[in-house]
Chain A
């Protein structure tokens, strides 16, 4: 029982930290309709910058610093696609590649930073909670706190005129222009925000696991996308807050399934393959559903022509 509770708590902690990346994608992928492939590097950027600032002795500054770094990364990705004529997928990949160097630089040339003896917001909280009934719950508290705050702020933001403009940019760019709003501006704001949320997630994960390394973010865009798409299945209709909540639930559910799979002896390295398969299924299902009736007719026609011994309609 004790072990099960521990397991559930770890799942929830990791699910909540991951759900921040999912919320970032909720903004860039679901709202702006941009698949931001710089997410991987941006996540690591949050981790490395946050860790470096914490090691330098500023545990509280580490979080805004990581978010600011993520915002700059989002800005560059947006700039490349709105002002430099670079395709959005390519812009993401280019930024992602550049971030590898930036991340190594942020870690002072090493590919790993150890935070075991570093004063972080997590260690502060842990000390503060020692002896109370919440002892050991610092990771969970941070997870709930940050996810809740981002969820609420994001939902409120998407109701403002700027938020509506960002949603419309992904929905109908023409209409944004005719509302006298520059779509490159809304794209930039959206990607800056999603970048800062992604980096926040990376920063929190590094501090909670007491280390940052260069590979932390690799594949996280697919994992988060899988969670986001699971969330869409969970919450099919409803307003933005509900859908955002669905994204968080998707992240937690994904983590839960993953934990159960690990218990059932699935090797840990399978995580990314499983995420990829989930993303493939989720995105291709509607497409295949649409194609299916035509495929059925074609097969029936082929059977028919074979039965009658004649060629198809064009024979």
Chain B
């Protein structure tokens, strides 16, 4: 479904702040795979998503989604095939518009001059009711009135309203309180499994990385240093993962935030 070939990206090239964020990274993700990605700050995780989503054109390498080379396609055109959630729950929806209007825009139904019809509304209601948050009864409420968890859940619905070829989750539960984060993570897992979506998820929580999905990647210095799936992955524990990191990167994982999260 997704194929990355030798992607490299240097930010601020030629300046004292030059940073090699992606270093000849290659990745092959099969349809229906749910990949969790971990790594210290600055390992290039979000940059990797940026390259896939088309925020920038990589200095070298190619991005192929479902067989089509999209390396030079602008972000908004790729978005047709990509659903994306960010850490900031405010980033995925327009606060001044109602829940219904946000969903209508995300659904892309009815052409430029179409407006929300009763059947659309029914569809939105049904999808929202699956969240179990009561949002289906608040279609006309402005999104700005929702809590962070509700907005992130809404963004998840918006991103998967038309099943995307690729779902990118960038620490999408990190800004939520633990209970809400669990709830959103559970919803995410269900949505991905029910839709058989191909999904890449960045997380700082090593346990989450191991408990959800079917494959786990570890990144460091713009490269994938560890890639595990299947039986091997099932046996892994968080301490194992830390050992693997030390082994592959030649240093200890130096992110306090990751080490301290052990639920």
Contact surface of A with B, Cβ cutoff 8 Å: 159-162, 164-165, 167-168, 170-172, 174-183
Contacts and interface: CB of A to CB of B under 8 A. Distances in A.
B77 interface: yes
A180 B104 contact: no
Contacts of A162: 112-113
A106 to B, nearest CB: 32
B172 to A, nearest CB: 13
Contact of B97 (A167, A177, A180): A167
A174 B85 CA distance: 11
A183 to B, nearest CB: 7
A180 B108 contact: yes
A164 B105 contact: yes
A172 B97 CA distance: 10
A175 B91 contact: yes
Contacts of B250: none
Given A161-B105, A164-B97, A183-B76, A172 B91 contact: yes
Among A160, A167, A170, A178, max chain B CB count under 10 A is at: A178
Given A161-B104, A180-B79, A180-B80, A172 B74 contact: no
Of B79, B94, B102, B114, chain A has the most CB atoms within 10 Å of the CB of B94
**List of 3 A-B pairs having minimum Cβ-Cβ separation, nearest first:** A171-B94, A180-B79, A162-B112
A164 B76 contact: no
A159 B120 CA distance: 14
A41 to B, nearest CB: 29
Contacts of B170: none
Contact of A159 (B77, B92, B115): B115
A160 B115 contact: yes
A205 B75 CA distance: 44
A179 B114 CA distance: 15
Contacts of B158: 179
Contacts of A172: 90-91, 93-95
A175 B93 contact: yes
Given A161-B112, A181-B76, 16 more contacts: A161-B104, A161-B105, A161-B109, A161-B110, A162-B112, A164-B101, A167-B94, A168-B105, A174-B92, A175-B91, A175-B105, A177-B76, A177-B79, A178-B83, A179-B105, A182-B77
Interface residues of B, number: 35
A160 B94 contact: no
A174 B95 CA distance: 12
Contacts of B90: 172
A68 to B, nearest CB: 21
Prevailing SS type, chain A contact patch: helix
5 contacts: A159-B115, A168-B102, A175-B91, A175-B94, A181-B105
A179 B108 contact: yes
B79 A161 contact: no
A172 B116 CA distance: 20
Nearest to B81: A180
A177 B94 CA distance: 12
A165 B93 contact: no
A177 B115 CA distance: 19
B96 A161 contact: no
Contacts of A175: 91-94, 102, 105
Nearest to A172: B94
A182 B95 CA distance: 19
Nearest to A178: B79
Interface string B57-96: 0000000000000000011111110111010001111111
Given A160-B112, A161-B115, A164-B104, A178 B92 contact: yes
B106 interface: yes
A168 B97 contact: yes
Contact of A161 (B82, B92, B93, B111): B111
Given A160-B115, A172-B95, A179 B106 contact: yes
Nearest to A160: B113
Nearest to A175: B94
B112 A171 contact: no
| Centre residue among B91, B106, B115 by max chain A CB count within 10 A | B115
Contacts of B115: 159-161
B2 interface: no
Contacts of B109: 161
Contacts of A170: 96
Contacts of B91: 172, 174-175
B159 interface: yes
